[in-house]
């Protein structure tokens, strides 16, 4: 009664769209962290692998190990590490590690020595986001130490990367400039990389001269725009997630009845109330109350009463709605993830990523079905 319908064919098309931006064929890292932004990490990754994605990107080693445990063979990069993370397991599983500082470099080199094979690393430079990565002041020391580890056979320097703040074009351009400078410095010191990568979905769409060797694409793979203006279709992107449910009960009530916690809605006239079994446990934000809309048989209804943990109620007037009718929360013919995001004062990324709870994921275009 609660389904996230995930269209993996749309994900495959979006991959092709991003791969062929401005008519060139480029390397793409499909970013599948956070359960593939709520779309299901394993199924999305299996399909991306069939589509020949060049890399998979995850935040941490645990996510990367889960991909390997599911027999994913594609190269994987993980970049957000806890000081207690198991780099030995990561190296043994052939996972590339993003390395942001000397402490991580020492730890990864030690782990490589124990495992008996070199660690595949991507050095991360902080060009101005202020999250992980070495600042330009610390960059020469990181490069110098990495060179020593490369010579000692404990490290293979595969890549160099950074991440934009998406503040505005002026700030992003400064970061692109700093990234180029960091690459030049490393090269002058004798360290060159197979893969230099900087842009995520937004930068990949905005700065087509800054793709370097690979782009890292998350939200665009899922068919959503990285910009807050609902422009996915303009880029040829197709949303991959539809969140849907069914009406589980209807009832006629008279005028003046209070509905759901706090009586934020009172019926204006005799009307029908329809109960839908989706709540904030499923990731529907509680502050969708009073602003979001859902769709039943191509008609939109505002969620006027309080969204609860398990359910919400809509007032459907005299419409002939019955238990079992399909309710689209977003996607397909209903509101878009952007519409729901706007209603909840957040972004489409958060909407799809937070979908979970008791939703069941149902896939179109599963890799295993394509193979048969
Ligand atoms: C999440 C993430 C991405 C993907 O970002 P999108 O905006 O979803 O394309 C790329 N690179 C890094 C470092 C990230 O953390």
pLDDT in tens, 140-194: 999 999 999 999 999 999 999 999 999 999 999 999 999 999 999 999 999 999 9
CA-based nearest residue to 291, from 358, 246, 351, 227: 351
* pLDDT the model gives residue 16: 97
Q: Which domain holds residue 123?
A: 8-225
Site to probe by mutation for ligand 1, drawn from 123, 163, 196 as the one with most ligand atoms within 8 Å of Cβ, is 163
pLDDT score for 320: 97
Q: Is 261 a catalytic residue?
A: yes
> Are 104 and 248 within one domain?
no
Q: What is the per-residue pLDDT across 226-244, written as a single tens digit (0 to 9) for each?
A: 998 778 999 999 999 999 9
Q: Are residues 187 and 247 in the same domain?
A: no
Any domain includes 254: yes
Going from the Cα of 88 to the center of ligand 1, the distance in angstroms, rounded, reads: 25
**Quick one: 280 and 178 in the same domain?**
no
Output the CA 31–ligand 1 centroid distance in Å.
6
Predicted confidence at residue 326, as pLDDT, reads: 98
Kindly state whether residue 259 falls inside one of the protein's structural domains. yes
198 CB under 6 A from ligand 1? Answer: no
pLDDT of residue 25: 84
- Provide the percentage of residues in the chain whose pLDDT is more than 90: 95
Structural domain ending residue among the three candidates 225, 253, 268: 225
Residue 136 has pLDDT above 90, yes or no: yes
Is there a single domain that holds both residue 246 and residue 174? no
Give 342-371 pLDDT, tens digit per residue. 999 999 999 999 999 999 999 999 998 886
Q: Does residue 136 fall inside a structural domain?
A: yes
Looking at the structure, tell me whether residues 190 and 44 fall in a common domain.
Answer: yes
Q: Both 165 and 72 in a single domain?
A: yes
In a domain, 3, yes or no: no
* 215 & 324 share domain: no
Q: Which one, of 123, 155, 158, lies nearest residue 142 by Cα?
A: 123
Q: Which atom of ligand 1 is nearest to the CA of 204?
A: 9
Question: pLDDT tens-digit profile of 80-123?
Answer: 999 999 899 999 999 999 999 999 999 999 999 999 999 999 99
Say how many Å lie between the CA of residue 192 and the centre of ligand 1: 23
Residue 318's pLDDT is 98
- Looking at the fold, whether 45 and 134 belong to one and the same domain comes out as yes
Residue of 15, 41, 57, 79 best suited for mutating to test ligand 1, as the one with most atoms within 8 Å of CB: 57
279-310 pLDDT, tens digit each: 999 999 999 999 999 999 999 999 999 999 99
Give the CATH number, domain containing residue 269: 2.40.37.10
Q: How far is the CA of 218 from the centre of ligand 1 (A)?
A: 6
**Residue-level pLDDT at 371:** 67
Q: What is the 3-state secondary structure (H, E, C) of 323-371?
A: CCCEEEEECCCCCCHHHHHHHCCCCHHHHHHHCCCCCEEEEECCHHHHH
| pLDDT for res 231 | 82
Mean pLDDT of the chain: 96
Q: Based on the domain organization, do 113 and 172 belong to the same domain?
A: yes
What pLDDT does 270 receive? 98
Statement to judge: residues 97 and 205 lie in one domain: yes
Identify the pLDDT of residue 113. Answer: 97
Question: How far is the centre of ligand 1, averaged over its atoms, from the C-alpha of 316 (Å)?
Answer: 40
Domain's final residue, options 158, 192, 225: 225
Domain match, 246 and 208 both: no
pLDDT for 368 equals 86
Q: Which of 114, 251, 261, 263 is catalytic?
A: 261
User: Of 178, 198, 225, at which residue does a domain stop?
Assistant: 225
DSSP 95-150: -EEEE-SHHHHHHHHHHHHHHTS-EEEEEEB-SSS-SSSB-TTTHHHHHHHHHHHH
User: What is the count of structural domains for the chain?
Assistant: 2
33 is catalytic: yes
Q: Is residue 1 part of a domain?
A: no
In a domain, residue 290? The reply is yes
Identify the CATH number of the domain in which residue 38 sits.
3.20.20.10
Q: Is the CB of 122 under 6 A from ligand 1?
A: no
| pLDDT for the residue 370 | 84
The mean pLDDT of 185-213, rounded to a whole number, is: 97
- CA–CA dist 75, 94 (Å, integer): 8
In short, whether 39's Cβ falls inside 6 Å of ligand 1 is no
Return the best residue to mutate from 11, 31, 226 for the ligand 1 pocket (most ligand atoms within 8 A of CB).
Answer: 31
- Give pLDDT tens digits for 32-57: 999 999 999 999 999 999 999 999 99
User: Does 180 reside within a domain?
Assistant: yes
> What's the distance, CA 247 to chain centroid?
30
Q: Is 336 in the pocket of ligand 1 (CB under 6 A)?
A: no
Classify residue 64: in a domain, yes or no.
yes
What pTM was estimated for this model as a whole?
A: 0.97
Q: What pLDDT is attached to residue 12? A: 98
C-alpha dihedral, 263 to 267 to 268 to 273, nearest 10°: 150
Same domain for 308 and 190: no
Q: Above 80 in pLDDT, residue 372?
A: no
């Amino acid at each position: 009664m609660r389904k996230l319908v995930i269209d993996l064919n749309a994900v495959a098309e979006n991959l092709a769209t991003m791969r062929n931006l401005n008519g060139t064929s480029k390397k793409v890292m499909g970013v599948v962290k956070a359960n593939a932004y709520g779309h299901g990490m394993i199924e999305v990754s299996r399909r991306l692998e069939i589509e020949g994605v060049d890399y998979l990107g995850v935040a941490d080693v645990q996510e990367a190990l889960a991909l390997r445990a599911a027999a994913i063979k594609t190269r994987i990069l993980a970049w957000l590490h806890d000081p207690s993370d198991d780099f030995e397991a990561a190296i043994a599983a052939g996972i590339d590690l993003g390395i942001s500082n000397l402490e991580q470099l020492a730890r990864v080199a030690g782990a490589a020595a124990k495992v008996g094979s070199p660690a595949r690393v991507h050095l991360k430079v902080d060009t101005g986001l202020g999250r992980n990565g070495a600042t330009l002041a610390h960059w020469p020391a990181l490069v110098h130490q990495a060179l020593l580890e490369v010579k000692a056979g404990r490290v293979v320097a595969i890549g160099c990367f950074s991440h934009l703040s998406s503040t505005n074009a002026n700030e992003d351009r400064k970061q692109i400039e700093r990234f180029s400078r960091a690459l030049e410095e490393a090269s002058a010191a004798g360290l060159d990389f197979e893969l230099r990568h900087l842009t995520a979905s937004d930068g990949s769409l905005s700065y087509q001269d800054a793709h370097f060797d690979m782009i890292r694409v998350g939200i665009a793979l899922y068919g959503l725009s990285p910009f807050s203006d609902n422009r996915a279709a303009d880029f040829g992107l197709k949303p991959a997630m539809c969140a849907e449910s069914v009406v589980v009960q209807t009832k006629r009530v008279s005028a003046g009845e209070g509905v759901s916690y706090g009586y934020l809605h009172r019926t204006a006239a005799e009307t029908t109330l329809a109960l839908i079994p989706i709540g904030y446990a499923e990731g529907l934000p509680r502050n969708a109350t009073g602003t979001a809309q859902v769709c039943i048989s191509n008609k939109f209804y505002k969620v006027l009463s309080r969204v609860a943990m398990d359910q919400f109620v809509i007032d459907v007037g005299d419409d002939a709605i019955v238990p079992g009718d399909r309710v689209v929360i977003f996607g397909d013919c209903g509101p878009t993830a952007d519409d729901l995001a706007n209603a909840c004062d957040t972004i489409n990324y958060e909407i799809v990523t937070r979908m979970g709870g008791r939703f069941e994921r149902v896939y179109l275009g599963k890799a295993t079905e394509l193979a048969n």
